[in-house]
Structure formats: C-alpha cells, structure tokens
Amino acid sequence: MNKLKRQEIFERFRAANPKPTTELEFSNNFQLLIAVLLSAQATDVSVNKAMGPVFTTVKTPQDLLDMGLDRFTEAIKSIGLYKTKAKNALATAKILVEQYNSEVPNKRAALESLPGVGRKTANVVLNTAFGEIAMAVDTHIFRVSNRTAIAKGKNVLEVEKRLLRLVPKEFLLDAHHWLILHGRYVCTARSPKCWQCGISDLCEYKEKTPHPRSKKAVSVKKATKKAAKKATKRVSKKVAKKV
C-alpha cells in the first residue's frame, strides 16, 4: 500500500470519528489498568458489565486489596479466565501500593513487570492513560492491518512495528482505536461488511464481501446451494448402492 492511500484511510477514519477512545469504562488510571488486564480474551462489554458495580467502590489499589481476592473473584466470574485474572489484579494492586505509592507507573518496563500485564496491556495504558504513541495490536488490529495492507506482518509484534513506522505521524496517537473499532464493527473476522465500509475503495483485500442483495452475492449463494445439493445426491446414491 502506498503512502497516499494510508493518509486517505486515516483521514476518513478521523472524519468519521474525530476523538476515538477505548470502549472500556473507567474513571482513573488504576481502573483502566485493571479493566484492560481483565479484557484479555474477553469482550469490553463483558468487562464493563462485571466491573460497573465493582468500580463504584474500588477506585484505588488499596480499595481492591480491601475487597479481597474471594469477593473480587466472585464479582468477575462472568469473565473468561477469571480466577487467574483476579489473582493477577490483586497482586498488581499490592505492588502498586508497596512500590509505586498507589500510582500506575508510566514506563513500559514497570508496567510489564506487573502480574498479568503484557505488552498489549502496557501499550493500551501508555496510550490511553498517558497519551503516548503506542500500538496495542490485538486480534482486530492484526486482521485489519493485514487485510487492508495498511501494515502487513506475520505476528503482532511485526504489525505493531510496521504500524508505528508506516501510519502518518498525525494519526499515530489515535490509530489503534480507529483500527480496533473498524475491526470490531465493520471489518469483522467472518464476512467483513465491505459493502458498507468507508475505506473499501482503498483497501487492498481481494475477497471483498459483496452486498447481500447484489447479483454476485445471490449467485454465490445459489452456487453454494447447488453444490450442496449435488454432494447430497452423490452421498445418497452411494448409500443406496451399499444398501
């Protein structure tokens, strides 16, 4: 993909959503850190649902320690991998109280040394809480970057590095939010909604999904039905012969 196309893509993202942000709900850096930690392999919606009531009283690391592991584990049991996540969240809160004066550190190394906090979580916190340029590549960003050819890569680290190098500077701060939202709602894993995608003329993905009512979509549907019918006939014949 050339520079001009990338520029145009992000200009369109910005025009459609000038101030993108995370869909996780939080009111301070500590709550953001815990919400991101819990969101690994879980949806933001499920984290918001579980943490809404918790965050009304848990606003600091000490509040979480006071709540205790058992009550916290129970409160987040609707979230995947909740037992491990609960332990990590409590251990992180303890370290923040003991070593960081109850503040969330703003350095990558310090963040990544906290239990349950990996590169992606650190990137989200650095970007969202501290306004640093960081690219938290999740499954959505990985897919969108590769499909569109904005930044192709075999693994998340490769995509992260290419995005940081290739996305025009003026869009770097917000790029990861735009890409996540695009992947979550338009360029979905199965059947991306290419016919209603605002960047489809710039995207280099070859197998774009046709409009559900277009001739191409109808003929693909018919061809699939026909093939299925043929296969069923073949199987029935074979069974009949055997019988």
Nearest to residue 140, comparing CAs of 97, 187, 173?
187
**100-104: Cβ within 8 A, 24+ apart:** 102/30, 102/60, 102/61, 102/62, 103/29, 104/29, 104/30, 104/32, 104/33, 104/129
The answer to the question of residue 197 lying near ligand SF4 (CB under 6 A) is: yes
Q: Are 76 and 50 in contact (CB under 8 A)?
A: yes
Segment interacting with ligand SF4 (CB under 6 A) among 20-28, 106-114, 117-125, 193-201: 193-201
The answer to the question of residue 88 lying near ligand SF4 (CB under 6 A) is: no
Q: Is 120 a catalytic residue?
A: yes
For ligand SF4, the closer CB: 70 or 207: 207
Q: One of 19, 138, 152, 233 is an active-site residue; which one? A: 138
For ligand SF4, the closer CB: 35 or 194: 194
Segment interacting with ligand SF4 (CB under 6 A) among 22-30, 83-91, 186-194, 217-225: 186-194
- Give the shortest CB-227-to-ligand SF4 separation in angstroms: 25
The answer to the question of residue 186 lying near ligand SF4 (CB under 6 A) is: yes
The answer to the question of residue 147 lying near ligand SF4 (CB under 6 A) is: yes
According to DSSP, residue 104 is labeled: P
The answer to the question of residue 199 lying near ligand SF4 (CB under 6 A) is: yes
- The residue type of 223 is A
Q: Are 64 and 37 in contact (CB under 8 A)?
A: no
- Nearest-Å Rg of the Cα atoms of the chain is 23
Total chain residues near ligand SF4 (CB under 6 A): 13
Residues 6+ apart with CB under 8 A from 220: 210
- Residue of 48, 208, 210, 217 interacting with ligand SF4 (CB under 6 A): 208
The whole-angstrom separation of Cα 74 and Cα 88 is 15
Residues assigned a catalytic role: 120, 138
Which residues contact ligand SF4 (rule: CB under 6 A)? Answer: 147-148, 186-187, 192-194, 197, 199-200, 203, 205, 208
